[in-house]
């Protein structure tokens, strides 16, 4: 009996070793074919390895995807094509079975195999996508998958499927919008595809995103999500365009800001404050948002928007903010454009004499010319304003008569700038 058992174990060990050797040989063979893109001849040795040694290496599955996709692309007819697509889907199942951490979103891959190859199986595709997005959303990086999932979801709603209510659509839209925002940061090289996906789901969601629906939904969910920063941020993103004047938007913005002070959270709360006519609070928060902003271009834009918006009547502050915007983005020519107009509008206010009042327009001309240097697109606007300002500015004759050629004068009041007159 012991002899028998020993023999059996020995034979098993020998068979196992032989099998591994065979798999190694077959792996080497199919990989040589792959090096020269000979997918047809690679198939048989690859399939042997997949069947006999499925845990040997993850490359079995990544190589297998390439091989089967080649065969799909070269299928003789639609029937053969679908058979191969199904084979590819089975391969993703096997991949997940043996290397689960490497392809947690395998259901997404299976769904996209059907979508990319135009296999008419909408219900199957939806179930695969729904499962994938539910269990492994953080692993999903395909903008096309995001769009198709939301498209099928809205179609089910419109077809009267009770499992997909309006609330479910809003909830999913909120989730996907937040996920796309995350992907912007994680995969900047794919930004264009994410922008396209966002536009597409926005169009699909538009009929569901009226303020009444959104308000009702977010009011019902707020109490259970007061400490859920991800949910709060996603909610604000969805509501900002259409519902920023509502009490629930203000409540969410306040809770979001309390949990995490950032440029974005300050901006949302500032928007809510502005819509509720809390102007002083809005000013303070928009300034905080600009100061906390890390992206220099966005930072410049925030300062510029403040200068031309809430602070447009406060000329000293507007000037300060415009100069800050130029500090972070020297190519923001519109800042020079606006500053020059502020100067021109203050000629009578900041000039003590008629000569000084005219000199303010000379400063405005000097300033506005910088706009064209910063941004060539503004040349036409600059030319127009220069022509207008020149009618009020000091002429060469005025400067000569006053014996001020080449001299520097200081424009007072809030402008507080020096200008050297032409010789």
Structure confidence by residue, pLDDT tens digits, 277-328: 999 999 999 999 999 999 999 999 999 999 999 999 999 999 999 999 999 9
Tokens representing 342 are 């502020």
Tokens representing 405 are 């050629």
- Cα 155 from chain centroid (whole Å): 25
Block residue for tokens 């006519």: 277
What is the phi/psi pair of residue 92, to 5°?
Answer: -60, -35
What is the pLDDT, as a whole number, of residue 19? Answer: 62
Block residue for tokens 């902003």: 293
Tokens representing 246 are 């509502």
What is the pLDDT, as a whole number, of residue 257? Answer: 97
Largest CA distance in the chain: 127
Block residue for tokens 């296999």: 119
All residue ranges of the chain with pLDDT < 50 are 1-14
Asked if 284 and 251 count as a contact pair (C-beta separation under 8 A), the reply is no
Distance in angstroms (rounded) separating the CA atoms of residues 72 and 126: 22
Structure confidence by residue, pLDDT tens digits, 330-339: 999 999 999 9
Distance in angstroms (rounded) separating the CA atoms of residues 290 and 331: 18
413: left (phi over 0), alpha (psi -120 to 50) or beta: left
Among 329, 307, 310, residue whose Cα is nearest residue 271: 310
Structure confidence by residue, pLDDT tens digits, 244-258: 999 999 999 999 999
């Amino acid at each position: 009996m012991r002899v028998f058992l020993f023999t059996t174990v020995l034979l098993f060990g020998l068979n196992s070793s032989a099998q591994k050797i065979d798999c190694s040989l077959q792996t080497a063979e199919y990989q040589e074919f792959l090096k020269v893109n000979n997918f047809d001849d690679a198939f048989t040795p690859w399939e042997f390895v997949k069947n006999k040694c499925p845990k040997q290496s993850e490359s079995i599955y990544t190589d297998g995807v390439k091989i089967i996709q080649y065969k799909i692309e070269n299928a003789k007819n639609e029937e053969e094509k679908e058979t191969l697509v199904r084979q590819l889907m089975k391969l993703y199942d096997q991949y997940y079975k043996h290397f689960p951490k490497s392809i947690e979103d395998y259901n997404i891959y299976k769904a996209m195999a059907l979508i990319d190859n135009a296999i008419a199986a909408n219900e199957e595709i939806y179930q695969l996508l729904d499962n994938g997005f539910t269990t492994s959303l953080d692993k999903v990086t395909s903008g096309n998958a995001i769009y198709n999932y939301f498209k099928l979801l809205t179609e089910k709603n419109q077809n009267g499927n009770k499992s997909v209510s309006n609330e479910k659509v809003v909830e999913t839209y909120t989730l996907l919008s937040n996920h796309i925002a995350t992907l912007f940061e994680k995969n900047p090289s794919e930004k264009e595809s994410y922008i396209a996906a966002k536009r597409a789901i926005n169009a699909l969601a538009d009929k569901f995103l009226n303020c009444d629906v959104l308000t009702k939904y977010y009011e019902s969910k707020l109490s259970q999500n007061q400490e859920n920063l991800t949910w709060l941020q996603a909610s604000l993103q969805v509501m900002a365009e259409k519902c920023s004047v509502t009490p629930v938007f203000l409540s969410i913005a306040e809770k979001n800001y309390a949990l995490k002070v950032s440029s974005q959270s300050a901006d949302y709360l500032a928007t809510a404050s502005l819509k509720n006519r809390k102007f002083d609070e809005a000013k303070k928060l928009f300034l905080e948002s600009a100061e906390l902003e890390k992206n220099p271009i966005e930072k410049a834009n925030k300062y510029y928007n403040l200068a031309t918006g809430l602070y447009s009547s406060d000329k000293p502050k507007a000037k300060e903010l415009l100069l800050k915007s130029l500090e972070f983005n020297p190519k923001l020519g519109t800042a020079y454009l606006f500053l020059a107009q502020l100067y021109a509008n203050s000629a009578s206010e900041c000039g003590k004499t008629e000569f000084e009042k005219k000199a303010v327009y000379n400063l405005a001309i000097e300033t506005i010319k910088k706009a064209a240097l910063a941004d060539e697109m503004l040349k036409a606007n600059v030319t127009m304003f220069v022509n207008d300002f020149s009618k009020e500015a000091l002429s060469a004759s005025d400067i000569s008569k006053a014996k001020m050629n080449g001299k520097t004068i200081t424009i007072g009041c809030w402008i507080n700038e020096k200008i050297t007159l032409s010789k």
